[in-house]
């Protein structure tokens, strides 16, 4: 295929437990740069998610449903294998604070070693989202605080329902 005709695909991987407005901000930024963005809902062996993989996929789909060049998928395996299967040229990662950089830098270098043609693109969220992360939002909801300013509407409803069951 002629390189001028190839679509530039990026993958934005994460556990998205749950997806926040900060995640959506990064997805919108990536969608403005790439022809196609795949939001990849994945497992993380270091985390115990509140929402199942299928629940997270559904919440992400509901949150990005109006974004024409954004697609949602799930994958449980090595990210570079998925990127190779999909023909992606980039991985999108968000940096909220300097503390995120060391881990993300190590992962970017490892992914480059495993798949040299795959670039990692770091995006910063808008200032209003720099302190937002899924863990803190879940804790606020669990303790009875308001979370509607941090999450898309479908996610607010799902999270409040989930914390009332636990």
- Per residue in 94-152, pLDDT (tens digit) is 998 777 788 899 999 999 999 999 999 999 999 998 888 999 999 999 999 999 999 99
Q: What is the mean pLDDT of residues 5-34?
A: 94
Tell me how far apart the alpha carbons of residues 27 and 51 are, in angstroms, rounded to a whole number.
20
Assigned domain for 23 exists: yes
Selecting among 8, 28, 86, 96, the annotated active-site residue is 96
Selecting among 9, 23, 57, 138, the annotated active-site residue is 23
Tokens at 18, concatenated: 């749950």
Is 8 a residue of the active site?
no
Assigned domain for 124 exists: yes
**φ, ψ (nearest 5 deg) of residue 35:** -65, -35
Assigned domain for 142 exists: no
Is 47 a residue of the active site?
yes
Assigned domain for 103 exists: yes
Show the domain range for 85: 9-130
- SS3 of residue 45 by DSSP: coil
CA-atom Rg of the chain in angstroms: 16
Tokens at 124, concatenated: 């910063």
Q: What is the mean pLDDT of residues 59-76?
A: 96
Q: Report how many domains make up the chain.
A: 1
Assigned domain for 125 exists: yes
Assigned domain for 40 exists: yes
- SS3 of residue 36 by DSSP: strand
Selecting among 47, 81, 117, 146, the annotated active-site residue is 47
Contact between residue 150 and residue 132 where contact means Cβ atoms under 8 Å apart: yes
Prediction pTM value = 0.92
* pLDDT over 80 at 165, yes or no: no
- The CATH number for 72's domain is 3.40.50.620
What's the pLDDT score for residue 66?
94
pLDDT band at 2 (very low <50, low <70, confident <90, very high): very low
Is 96 a residue of the active site?
yes
Assigned domain for 158 exists: no
Q: Enumerate residues 6+ apart whose C-beta is below 8 A from 50.
A: 17, 18, 138, 159, 162
Assigned domain for 160 exists: no
């Amino acid at each position: 295929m002629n390189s001028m005709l190839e679509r530039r695909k990026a993958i934005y991987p994460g556990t998205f437990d749950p997806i926040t407005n900060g995640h959506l901000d990064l997805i919108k930024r990536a969608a403005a740069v790439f022809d196609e963005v795949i939001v990849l809902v994945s497992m993380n062996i270091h985390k115990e998610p509140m929402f199942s993989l299928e629940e997270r996929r559904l919440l992400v789909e509901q949150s990005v449903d109006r974004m024409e060049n954004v697609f949602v998928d799930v994958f449980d395996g090595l990210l570079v294998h998925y990127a190779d299967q999909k023909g992606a040229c980039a991985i999108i990662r968000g940096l909220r604070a300097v503390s995120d950089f060391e881990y993300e830098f190590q992962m970017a270098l490892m992914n480059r070693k495993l798949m040299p043609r795959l670039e990692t693109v770091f995006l910063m969220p808008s200032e209003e989202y720099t302190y937002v992360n899924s863990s803190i939002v879940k804790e606020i909801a669990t303790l009875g605080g308001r979370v509607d300013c941090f999450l898309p509407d479908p996610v607010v409803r799902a999270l409040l329902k989930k914390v009332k069951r636990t």
